[in-house]
Structures are given as C-alpha cells and as structure tokens.
Structure 1
Amino acid sequence: LPTEERVKLGIGIMFQHPPKIRGVRLEQIAEFLARDGEEIEKLADKLSLRDHLHREINLDFSGGEMKRSELFQVLLQKPKFLLLDEPESGVDIENISIMGEVLNQYLKEVNASALIITHTGYILDYVDANKAYVLIDGKIWCQGNPREIFESIRKDGYEKCKECEWKRV
C-alpha cells in the first residue's frame, strides 16, 4: 500500500533501516503530520529530538537518533496499528529505553496495537507485549509469553524453539 493509504487506514510503519531525506527538515515533516506545535515539541522532548528538528531527516544522525526520529514521525501520524521492524537495531541501551517507554505510553494512551519484529528482545524490557511468535525458516515454530520465550532463547538459543515447550503452531 502507498504511504498515504496506510496512514488513512491508521497503520504506521518503522523500517529496520530508516531512509535519509535530503532537503526536508524533521520539523517540516512534523508540522505536516501534526500541525500542532505543542504536540510536536512535547513528543520531540520525550524522544530527545528537540535539537534535531532543524536538521534534514536522518542525515548524519546516529543509529539511535535515526530510530527515535522515525518513531517520532510515526507517532505523529497517530496510528492505531504499528508495524515495527527491529526498532532496537543499531540502537544503544539508553535509546532503547527512551523509545520503549514512549512507545508503551502511546500504545496505552490511544489503545493502539503493535507488531514488533525483534531479534534481540531488548524492546520487551519497556513495552508490555502479550504474545510472541518465533519464526524459523519462514515458519512459526511456537508462540507464548514474550519474556519467557526470549529468556529461553537467550539461555538456550533457538534450538529450544524447535522443541517448543509452549505451543507449537
């Protein structure tokens, strides 16, 4: 679906590798999306992006700055469903906590849902997830409690998923 159609449907997407956009400042896209300066400033402050608003989108941003910038843009769209592809990829622990806390607060405040694709599970320390699915070779091997599954994977690797003690799909 084209971006404008996804937005109309209430779908917000964060990509694993956010695009860099020359000639467009973060504040310009924010004003287009929100049209409320107070809302923009409030969210920019929560995501530690106030000093980045005058910069071109994602140009010379660190990994954490790019991901926070993308989350900022997505949340200004006010989606009811978010698809987040590895939101913690290339992000340090401090930025994961900032993003996770802002995301969790947003999901609760607007009663939105999210599908989070993660390889590390670090985002789960900050987001109240209620279901996890493990895909291996393109197939769902098991489902269950996200924290329990990731703890098991951290301890025993993905092999235990193939013997899924939770529920095999």
Structure 2
Amino acid sequence: RIYERAKKGIGIMFQRPPTISGLKTRDIVDICRGEKDIDIDALAGELNMAQFLERDINDGFSGGEIKRSELLQLLAQNPNLSLIDEPESGVDLENISVIGNAINKLLQKELHRHRKNSGLIITHTGNILDYVAADVGHLLIGGCLKCTSNPLDMLKEIKKSGYEKCMECMECKI
C-alpha cells in the first residue's frame, strides 16, 4: 500500500517513524529517489544529514535528526502531495529553520504560479508557521472542520483567546 501511494505521488512524513536496523539512510533515500537524477549527498548536505547517510535509518537519531531524515526521503521522492505530521515535534530551535526551509523547498513555495506540489501539515503548536509559508489554515476539533482562514491570523487568535474564540471569528469560512 505504501508503494501504491508513492506511485500516485503521495509522500508521508510521520510524527515518529520506526527505526529500521540493517537499512542505511542512503539506501532508503535512493529507493525514494527512484529514477530521478538527484544528488543524494548534496541533498543530505542541505539538511545537515551527510554524516547520517551510512547509519541505519533513525537508529539513535535525535528528534530533529529523525525529522530531517524524513524530509530527506520526501525531497528525494518529490511527491505531488506531502502529508506532514508535526514537523516541529522534537526539533530544537537551531534546526526548526532547516526543517521549515526543507518543507518550503518540497512544496515549491518559490514557484508560485507553476507550483506542482502541495502539502497538508499537521501541527499542534503552530511553531512551524514561523518558517513555512502556509497558504490556508484549517482548524479541526473533535474530528470536525471548524474553521478555514489565514493560518497566521488563526494562530494569533488561538494564542490570544483559545480555540473556541477562533471558531467564533467572522473570518471563518465554514
């Protein structure tokens, strides 16, 4: 099933992916790359992951190293749709900008009109919004979509007044 999703152009960054003994990070990135002409070493360098390429996937990695490893795999795959679960979880302040820059690259934020990739980023803290240029924010409570609006405005309102007040605002389109 994972292979079928990948063939359809869907990539996933898990909140806590498994450690896989015996599978080197370089090998999984090579699998994700497929037939694409991507320089794995250069890509790993952009994410400060070069020293991890010959290590087993996620074995002994810190939270931030795991997130960067997941993004390295996604960047190599270059999916049309990326599902990204809590990219800032377990990431120290020094590396959250690296994560944000990688997500912006993955989602082709610099292309504007010619963008082919999109993503759904799940966050509980909203901290990643300081580093990722999100287009639209959605608020889910109890499994129901409660609000759709500008993500930075929503986060500001939630921090100021809580989730309930955010759902009452005039900007909500739901």
TM-score, scaled relative to structure 2: 0.89
Q: Is the 8 A contact 1:25 1:56 kept in 2?
A: yes
Moved >2 Å (runs of 4+): 31-38
Partner of 2:118: 113
Q: Is the 8 A contact 1:141 1:164 kept in 2?
A: no
**Over residues 17-66 of structure 1, what are the superposed CA-to-partner deviations in whole Å (9 max), with x where a residue is unaligned?**
11111111101112223267862111101110000011100010000000
1:55 equivalenced with 2:55 (yes/no)? yes
Q: Is the 8 A contact 1:141 1:161 kept in 2?
A: no
Q: Percent identity?
A: 49
1:30 equivalenced with 2:29 (yes/no)? yes
Task: Please state how far the C-alpha of 1:114 moved relative to its aligned partner.
Answer: 0.4
Distance 1:69 1:125 in 2: 21
Q: 1:138 aligns with which of 130, 138, 143?
A: 143
**Over residues 42-100 of structure 1, what are the superposed CA-to-partner deviations in whole Å (9 max), with x where a residue is unaligned?**
11011100000111000100000001101111221110110011111111122211011
**Over residues 112-154 of structure 1, what are the superposed CA-to-partner deviations in whole Å (9 max), with x where a residue is unaligned?**
1000010111111121111111011111111100011011112
1:151 equivalenced with 2:150 (yes/no)? no
Gaps of 5+ in 1: none
Q: Count matched residues.
A: 168
Gaps of 5+ in 2: none
Q: Is the 8 A contact 1:31 1:37 kept in 2?
A: no
